Every structure is written in C-alpha cells, then in structure tokens.
Amino acid sequence: MKADPRNVLTGANYLDGNHASAEGAIAAGCKFFAGYPITPSTEIAERFARRIPLLGGVFIQMEDELASMNAILGASWGGLKSMTCTSGPGFSLMMENFGLGIMLETPTVLVNVQRGGPSTGLPTLPGQADMMQARWGSHGDYEVIALAPDSPQESFELTIHAFNLSEKYRMPVLVMTDECVGHMTEKVIIPPAEEIELVERKYTDKKPGEAWPYESTNGDIAPMLPVGKGYKFHVTGLTHDYRGYPVINAEAQKLKVKHLVDKINKNVDDIIWIEEKDTDDAEIVMLSYGISSRVMQPAIARARKEGIKVGQIKMVTVWPFAEKRIAELAGKVKSLIMVEMNYGQVFLEMDRIARGRCKTYLAGHAGGTVHKPEDIYQIIKEAAK
Amino acid sequence: MAVTEIRITGFGGQGVILCGYIIGKAASIFNDQHSTLTQSFGPEARGSACSAQVIISGERVLYPYVTAPDILIAMSKDGYLTHKDKIAEDCIIVYDKDLVKLEKHGPKVKTYGVPATRIAEELGRKIVLNIVMLGFFGAVSEILPREALRKAVETSVPSGTEGLNLKAFDKGFEYGLSLKKETVATA
C-alpha cells in the first residue's frame, strides 16, 4: 500500500532529526501519539501535536512514560498506528510496558533520542548508551528490532521503516537516534506519497467467534483481530495460549517464548539492514551505527589515503545484530573496530561473534559530544600495526 | 569544494537560531549545497549567550560540529566574548556595532560592523535585527547568492511578516554592499 498524500510533505524540507522523525511517522499513517515531554526528544511530540489534529489523529500528553507506553499499545489494539518518543530516563520507565508490547505482539513504534546517562545525565547532549537497554531492558526473554538513523533524512526514512517492520512482525520497534541527530537540521527530501511503500496490518479473515488473537507459533505472524466489528477477545501479559487466555505452565511458556524469539531469528535476512563499503579486500573493518557511523568517515578516508585497507559496515539495524556477516568477516580480516558513543555495548556483541578469530577494538566515547575523527584514526592506526 | 563554518552568537530571543536556520536553508534548499545546522540547547539558550552553528559544503557534512568558524556573526557582547578566540585565522567577523566592542584580533581576521539594531529600529521593529544582520552578512561574506538568502528568509519567517523581513534583509545587504565599496575605495 502507498502512503496517503494528505500525510506527506513532499519536497525539499529543512528539518531537524526530530521533526523529520515526526514527519516519517505521519507519512507512515501514524494517527496516535501518547508521550511525556523529555529533552532531547520533545520536538517529535511538538510537531506531531501541531500536525496530527488537522489530519484526523490524536495526540495525548500523558501523566508519565509508563502510561504513555500503555496508551500506545491500547491505541494499536484499537486499530491505529501509534507511537511515542522519549529519552534515557523516560526509556527506563517505558521498559516494563515495552515488554508488555512484546508479549501482546502489538505493533507500535518507540523513538529514543538518546542523551548522556546514567540517570538524568546530560539532557541536552548526545549519547548512544541505551543500546543494551534497548536489547535487554525489559524483563524476560525476547528479541527486538532497533534502527539507528545518522541524519534527519534517515530519521524520516527509518521511522517509516520502523512502522512497516512493526506491522509486518507484529511487535514494538525501536528507533534509537540521539541528541546530535535529533537536533541537527539538514535537508530532508520527502518523496511523493506514491513512492512511499507502507505495510498495512493484517486482520483475520475468519468470522467473529471463530478467530483468536494468537493463532500462530514458531515465529509465523498471526493476523490481528479488529475491534468494533463483533470480535470478542482477551489479551494479557501473562503467558497465554492462542486464545489470549493465561496458561501458567512450562509447556505454554515454551510455545510462547519460542515464538517471540523465532519471529525475529527466522527472519533475520529480511530484517537486518547493513550498508557495506570497501569490505572486499579490507584488513580492518569498522562497524558503527547512527551518528558515530557518520563521524568515523573522515578517519576512514584518511587511513585509506595512507594505504590502510579499511572497510566499513554501517548498521542501520543494530538489533537483530548482523551476526552471520560479522562472523564471516571475523574469519577473514585482521581486526574489527566498533565505533559507538558508550564504553562498549554493541562492541560486546561484535567481540562475542568474533570468537577470537580476529582482533577486536573499541572506539568508545562517554558521550556529551561525538567522537573526534582524530581519535578514531588513532585506533585504526593501532589496529593496523 | 570548500567547507565554510559559521557561528552565529547572541542572546536568547534575538533570533540567533532562526538566523542560522536561514543560512543553512539558503545553502541546502536554494543553492544546491549541503549544510548542517546545530545549536546550543538548554538554559544557555534562554536569555543568556547562545549560539547556532552552520557548516556549508559542496559535499555531505560528516562531522556535524563547528570547530574553528570561518565566519563569526556576533549580535551580543557576551556572545562575542564567549566565542571570539575560537575562530579560524582568517575569520570574517560580522558584528552589531552598537552592541559589540571589538577586541584585538590577528592580522588575517577581517571585521565588518553594522548598526543592525538601529536599522531595525528605523524599520519600526527591533525584532528584525537578526535579519538585518543576515543581509549584512550576505553582502560582506559573499558565500551565498543574495537570491538564495532572500528566498530562505521569505520561507522561514512567520507568515504575514515576509515584507518587513525582506525589507530588513535588503537594508542590511545594501549597508554591506556600500561598506564593501568604501573598503575597496580606501584600500
């Protein structure tokens, strides 16, 4: 299905990453936003609040982040595409009900404009240190999808992509941006509506009384049930069976959790999106995501000019992790370097997958600003020795 | 193609960010270049010295922050004092004559002063000071076509104020042109 032209600001716009993300959501057909303001994410909420009433949608400022997350899950079951945005402290508060969204298999989108942490940390300055929280922040066993834009243009595109993945895999999807991208203003080309492909929700074709909300296992995606059309159904955060009713035993648990994990693991080839450059003859491969993948470019260019064979992978999807490809490279290259604005989070995943087959390096940073290309260059030199 | 780093500084409420937005938009949308605008957020952006930074380039801007600006636009004393030493060797300083008292700079630094506040007051709205500065900056720096900047002004200011703002822009631009002519004549 194509986007509705009424929702799309086609043309060359000059927008910051947050405004671009809001436009992406609107273009994707999102009609419900519930959130609680927090720097540096608030511009997403502001733009949505200004724009969506004119397009027949709803914006609610909630009492807190717990309620925000619940509201967007409810709106999604009510039939609307929904989203919220937040930053570090709010992300922590949303984690419990993010898990509820996973368990209820509810399509929705959460944008985390990361700032420096822990705790209230650096409200107005960037960080990329919620990456492991994105992966494991809620309790229980599950898989996630997390995307990382490096610019306002990608904030627009990846927010749409997040909605598409959320509908396709019937789950909450994370957009893990950061203060630098969120508050950076650049040209954003918004294509005509007919060029924006949207994934629409699959609803059951069975009759009321014959359909259940969780009629699939082993990672197959079950259609949802619509509301207001005579379907009576129940969903719960308790481990449940195909009917959506609690079943508290090991057998039901295995079926459910296996399903939640399989949904992603059986579809990694469809979900994972990485952009490779110069990896064919590379002795060193740089891995990064979001703003850091952009800031490392001058360092790579400098090293390549000096004859160091450096390749790179930009991870558009950080989760699920591009395990297969990284494992392949680890058996081929001399070193892998992870560039990220934390002291080693996604690095751990890279290092685990390398299994000692090549050297691994971390170009880490505490946050508050982005890496200096010079510092990244020094690590490339070290790895090239 | 060359990269130009610009810092605009003033106090919160003067339209420092809008000024940066218009410069970036003129480059990106109306002059087929790349530009990245970043800005100071937080308490410092509300009332005291604040700044906006724009990088203009022929290619994609990879490192988003300004390190040593080639152009410093100073609309307040505090802003000037905060940023005056972190500039390129051959920086162009564009400042409001009535608000900023220049200190000593290196021999390669060029300075251009404009009574922007007074010109804005003469136009009847002190609030267009930033647009007067912008016009002046356009004329003396010559890094962007006048038309690109005008279009960016027209499409960025609140609707209903386009006329006033374009007038402010032109006033600033003309002042810059005549100042440049004088500088050439005396040289």
Nearest beta carbon to residue B21 from set A185, A187, A295:
A185
Can you spell out the DSSP letters for A167-225?
Answer: HHHTSEEEEEEEHHHHT-EEEEEEPPGGG-B-PPPPB--SPTTT--TT---TTPPPPB-
A35-60: per-residue pLDDT in tens? 999 999 999 999 999 999 999 999 99
Give the Cα-Cα-Cα angle A234, A239, A245 (nearest 5 degrees).
30
Q: What pLDDT score was predicted for residue B150? A: 98
pLDDT value at residue A65: 98
Q: What residues does CATH 3.40.50.970 cover in chain A?
A: 5-195
Of B28, B41, B64, the CB nearest to A14: B28
- Residue with tokens 């950080």, as numbered in its chain: A318
**Chain A nearest C-alpha distance from B34 (Å):** 8
Distance CA A77, CA A339 (A): 38
Look at B28 and A187 and tell me if their CB atoms are within 8 Å.
yes
Question: Two tokens at B127?
Answer: 């609030």
What SS3 state is found at A376? helix
CA distance B68 to chain A (A): 14
Task: Answer yes or no: is pLDDT of A231 > 80.
Answer: yes
Chain A residues with CB-CB distance to B35 below 8 A: 186-187
Amino acid at A384: A
Tell me where in chain A the CATH 3.40.50.920 domain(s) lie. Answer: 275-384
Omega within 30 of 0 (cis) for the link into A246: no
Look at residue A111 and tell me whether its pLDDT is greater than 80.
yes
Q: What is the CATH architecture assignment of A5-195?
A: 3-Layer(aba) Sandwich (3.40)
Residue A102 has pLDDT above 70, yes or no: yes
User: What are the pLDDT digits (tens) for B67-109?
Assistant: 999 999 999 999 999 999 999 999 999 999 999 999 999 999 9
CB contact under 8 A, A14 and B38: no
Q: In chain B, what residues touch A295 (CB-CB under 8 Å)?
A: 62-64
Phi, psi torsion values for A361, nearest 5 degrees: -130, 150
User: B21: which residues sit within 8 A by CB, 6+ positions away?
Assistant: A14, A185, B37, B52, B156
Q: pLDDT of B21-47, one tens digit each?
A: 999 999 999 999 999 999 876 565 566
Q: Which residues of chain A have a CB within 8 Å of the CB of B38?
A: 180, 183-185
Q: Percent of chain A beyond pLDDT 70?
A: 100
Least CB-CB distance to A294: which of B28, B41, B62?
A: B62
User: What is d(CA B19, CA B132) in angstroms, rounded to the nearest whole number?
Assistant: 10
Residue B183 clears pLDDT 90, i.e. is over it: no
Instruction: Provide the shortest C-alpha distance from residue A124 to chain B (in Å).
Output: 6
Side chain identity at residue A212, one-letter code: W
A239 Cα to chain B: minimum distance (Å): 44
Whether A14 and B39 lie within 8 Å, measured CB to CB: no
Say what the pLDDT of residue B46 is: 61
Q: Which residue of B has its CA nearest to A40?
A: B41
> CATH for B4-186, among 3.40.920.10, 3.90.79.10, 3.30.450.20, 3.40.50.720?
3.40.920.10
| Residue A26 scores a pLDDT above 80 | yes
What's the CA gap between A185 and A16, in Å, rounded? Answer: 4
Q: Is the dihedral of CA A195, A198, A48, A65 positive or negative?
A: negative
The CATH topology of domain A275-384 is Rossmann fold (3.40.50)
Do the chains contact at A295 and B28, CB–CB below 8 Å? no
Q: State the pLDDT at residue B42.
A: 58
Indicate the pairing of strand A108-116 with strand B110-114: unpaired
